[in-house]
A and B are shown apart, each in its own frame.
Chain A
């Protein structure tokens, strides 16, 4: 651990996020892949430990082999050598029927219950910043069994209250999803950030630090979180990206350096 603290890591924060998210992708499972970093993570996972990861893109791509990195969730690369080129309704109806195991999504803000905002900063009627909106994030998080959020970690993003609940996490506490009409057993599973990996307490459903990123202290995570973050016992340290992961990411996944 100490060797990392005083030396500059040989990877950047995006690479760390991608490698960490990729490790959470499980071979032979279905995963909704949101735009941006999840696409890189899926490609890396397919080239590493999860060659049979079934990628699901919201506009209809089911089971693509991510050979070249998609720049659009509806682009040709999102259904390259796919098992099925469907449409948006089919994808989310499949999710609504319970077939989709993981959903990898992002957001501008997250609260202790994993509720995400990608709609507005400030007041809805007179927003300070009008963000793009839900897209498929609300649908993925409503229907996938396990939702994994990928976020940069600071106090403006990890907040006690999000300005707008675009996408359901645990909706403020245990039992709330079910009371709202969402399927029991679905919900937030992990948050991957540049500072740590978070899960949720099984009873209170509050966010809990499971592991710090390499060279990051627990205190640093807490300082950068705008709410009371529970701590697992013990808090693990996530191993840094391996040379193999970085080589594949840089030389194969994103060789044009569109993202990293």
Chain B
């Protein structure tokens, strides 16, 4: 295939599909109990320097309790497949991020991410590689398919392509230009779901973001779940399972794990606390103070929930729309 154009961005981790197949080959296929705590899951499956992905994003069905634990354990030099709101904001504020594949880090209605600005504008994070949102999802999809790249018609003609690690080639069938995005294999993925069994079979209600693709493109997958349910419940509706157990390394039962974000049909977002973070994130000292109180200052997710308070959490459940 004739390469017409090449992005100048760093391909942070060239995909090795044969090695990924070997990895998946040795992954245990038995139905074993994978339940553990956040602390156990993070210390066992997240390492310094890991290439890490979170799903969906900060304020929506995000594995915040796992992210808090990563911050508490001070995992550092993380390479982040970057699409995020609060969760990456906080990891950036904690100084744990070493490099970024980036599609969007911001706060939606509340504007730009100040931690991202500080880390990138100061040059502390040197490797930032931009992609479009679909390109990132499709990079996961390529891995999920077990192929090294996928042709897409996004990013063509733009600086987003120029500064990415994508390539434009002449389609060998039609001769037209087409963008190729490389498969992205994460060391570890973190996904929060509505329900899972102890083996890791998992279901998500509502939109599924990029959970299906990301779950299939990481070497290790840590799930948190609002509740652990009996396997029979999942087996009675197997079409609803989006993540089968053999992809999963750890299952952490964590109600309100997305707080202060929302979990559709279960609880609303905690707007007041989100606003507190937005304000705190404006400078480094106040963002660290927030993390001191809500992350470093508690030992685990239960202590976090105690700090937030049962009444407040209950009000978030009561406000939820069940349609």
Q: Mark A residues whose CB is within 8 Å of B.
A: 35-36, 57-61, 68, 71-81, 85-89, 92, 96, 115, 119, 124, 126-139, 142-143, 164-168, 171, 176-177, 179-183, 258-259
Contact = CB atoms under 8 A, between A and B. Distances in A.
Interface in B206-246: 206-213
B137 A92 contact: yes
Contacts of B123: 126
Interface in B250-308: 262, 264-265, 269, 271
A85 B153 CA distance: 24
A165 B130 CA distance: 12
B208 A72 contact: no
B117 A130 contact: yes
A80 B323 contact: yes
A259 B109 contact: yes
B116 interface: yes
B158 A61 contact: no
A115 B106 CA distance: 21
Interface of B: 56-57, 59-61, 82-83, 85, 102-106, 108-109, 112-113, 116-117, 120-121, 123, 128, 130-135, 137-138, 141, 152-160, 163, 168, 176-179, 206-213, 262, 264-265, 269, 271, 320-321, 323
Nearest to A130: B120
Nearest to A177: B157
A135 B163 CA distance: 15
Contacts of B265: 76
A81 B323 contact: yes
A89 B213 contact: yes
B29 to A, nearest CB: 26
A4 B123 CA distance: 49
A85 B323 CA distance: 12
Given A60-B209, A130-B120, A75 B106 contact: no
Contacts of B109: 35-36, 71-72, 258-259
B210 A35 contact: no
Given A60-B207, A133-B105, A88 B134 contact: yes
A183 B154 CA distance: 11
Nearest to A71: B109
A6 B123 CA distance: 49
Nearest to A68: B321
A143 B269 CA distance: 32
A168 B321 contact: no
Given A89-B138, A132-B105, A143 B153 contact: yes
A128 B117 CA distance: 9
Given A89-B141, A135-B104, A72 B132 contact: no
A157 to B, nearest CB: 15
- Report the 8 A-B pairs with minimum CB-CB distance, sorted nearest first: A132-B106, A180-B157, A60-B207, A181-B177, A135-B104, A92-B134, A138-B132, A76-B264
B110 to A, nearest CB: 9
Contacts of B176: 181
A115 B82 CA distance: 23
26 contacts: A60-B209, A61-B207, A72-B60, A72-B108, A74-B207, A74-B209, A75-B269, A79-B206, A88-B137, A92-B137, A96-B134, A127-B120, A131-B112, A132-B112, A134-B104, A134-B131, A134-B133, A134-B160, A136-B132, A139-B132, A142-B154, A143-B154, A180-B156, A181-B168, A181-B176, A182-B153
